[in-house]
Amino acid sequence: MGVKQFLRACALASLGAVALSKPINTHRRAAFFEAQKLADPAYGPIPGESAIFNTNWGKAPTWPGNLTDPILPTKKGPPGVDDQVWQNLLAAEWIIFSFYQQAVEIFNESSFIAAGMPNTTYQRVKEIRNNEAGHLRIFQNQISETSVKPGACKYNFPYHDPVSFLALATVLEISSMAFLTGLVQQVKLDHAKGAMMSIAETEARHEVWQLMDIWKVNPLGGPSDTVFPYANEVLGSTGNLMVPGSCPKENPEYPSPSQHLPALGASKNTKSLAPGATIDLTFTDPKNQPKFVPGKQYYAVFFHGLANATVPIETCDWPKKSISVTIPAKFEEKGVIATVIADTPGAPKKETIVAGPGIILEQPEPLGVKLL
C-alpha cells in the first residue's frame, strides 16, 4: 500500500488499537513516593541541561516518564494563575509521551527499515520521546506547589504498524502546534506564553523532520501555521485515546473546563480532504451526537492560517440524510485546517460551537485525517 492510500486508510478507518504497556503495578507504593519527589523543581535532571532529554537510547521510559503517579500539592493555598492551563497541558503531554514511549517499546531499528524508512528513524523516534519526557518535566515545574500535577492514564492509540504509527505522529505533532496557538491565549503570565511558544516550536521541528525524512515532501507549511483559539476543544477531542476510568483519581477533570462536544469526522468513503473537496460529515461517538434545533441555521467553520471561513450547512434532514459540506477552495493545501460546527458564522465564542473540532491534515497528503 502506498503512503497515499495508507494515509487515507489511517485517516478514515478505525484501525486496531494497540494497548499501552501496563504501568508498573508492583512497587506501586515506592513509585508513588518517588513521584512525590518531583514536587521539587530542582530534583533530578533539568531539561535544557541534561542529555537524557535528547540522547537516552534505552527502551525503558525516559525519566520522569517512568514516574506515572500524580504529584500531590505540598502547600495549601490558592492555585497559581495559570495552573489549570498547565494541568491541561501536562495531562495532554502524558498522551504524547506515552504514544512515543509505546512505539519505542514495540518497534526496533529493523521495524522502520523494513517499512522502507531511513535507518535513523528509530533513533529519531527515541529522541522525540526524550524531548516529550522533557516536556513532562517542564510542565510539572510550571504548576505551582498548591495544585496537583496530573499523572498518566492508560491509552489506546489507533495504529497497527510502523507506517501507521508515523502517520499518526505527523497528525499529533501538527495538531499540537495548532492547539498551542490557542492555549497560549489562555495563560496570564508572560513567561508562560514564551514557554508555550518554545514548546510549539519544538513540535514544529518534529513535524518538519517527519515531512522531510519520512514522507519526503516539501516541509514548508506556508507563511503561518493554523491558529485555533479554543484549545480545550482540541483536548476534548483526544478523549477517544484514553481508556475510560484509567486516570488517577487525584487528576483534575481533563480537560477542564470541558464542553463535552460531539466528535467530528469525515465519512469513511471520503476521497479527498483537499480544499475544494465536498465531504460528508460524521459524528464519530455514537454516545455523543449533536442536537440541532429545528429551523435554526448551522455552519461549518474552517480555520486555516490566521483566518477562518464559514459555510452554511443543512441539518434539518440529519441523521436521515448526511450533512455535506465543501472545504473552502481558497485555502492552500498546507498544514492543517481545523473544522467545527457552530451556530454563528465565524464561531466568535466557544459557546457557539456545537461539534468538533476535526483536524484535517493537508500535508503530506490532502487526504486525511480527522483522527483526534
Ligand X SMILES: *[C@@H]1O[C@H](CO)[C@@H](O)[C@H](O)[C@H]1NC(C)=O
Give the span between the Cα atoms of 61 and 49, in whole angstroms: 19
Q: Which is nearer to ligand X, 276 or 348 (CB)?
A: 348
Minimum distance from CB of 321 to ligand X (Å)?
28
To which residue does cell 468513503 refer?
Answer: 269
The residue type at 33: F
Q: Which is nearer to ligand X, 17 or 31 (CB)?
A: 31
Cell numbers describing residue 342: 457552530
Minimum distance from CB of 94 to ligand X (Å)?
15
Minimum distance from CB of 27 to ligand X (Å)?
7
Give the span between the Cα atoms of 249 and 354, in whole angstroms: 29
Dihedral of the CA atoms 42, 48, 51, 56 (nearest 10)? Answer: 90
Q: Which is nearer to ligand X, 93 or 365 (CB)?
A: 93
Q: Which is nearer to ligand X, 5 or 108 (CB)?
A: 108
Minimum distance from CB of 267 to ligand X (Å)?
26
Minimum distance from CB of 90 to ligand X (Å)?
18
Interaction site with ligand X (CB under 6 A): 31, 34, 63, 66-67, 108-111, 119, 229, 308, 346-348
Give the span between the Cα atoms of 160 and 215, in whole angstroms: 18
Minimum distance from CB of 149 to ligand X (Å)?
16
Among residues 76, 8, 17, 92, the alpha carbon closest in space to that of 370 is found at: 8
Q: Which is nearer to ligand X, 104 or 367 (CB)?
A: 104
Cell numbers describing residue 64: 520522569
To which residue does cell 494497548 refer?
Answer: 19
Among residues 315, 302, 293, the alpha carbon closest in space to that of 357 is found at: 302
Q: Which is nearer to ligand X, 37 or 296 (CB)?
A: 37
Is 94 within 8 Å of 255 (Cβ atoms)? no
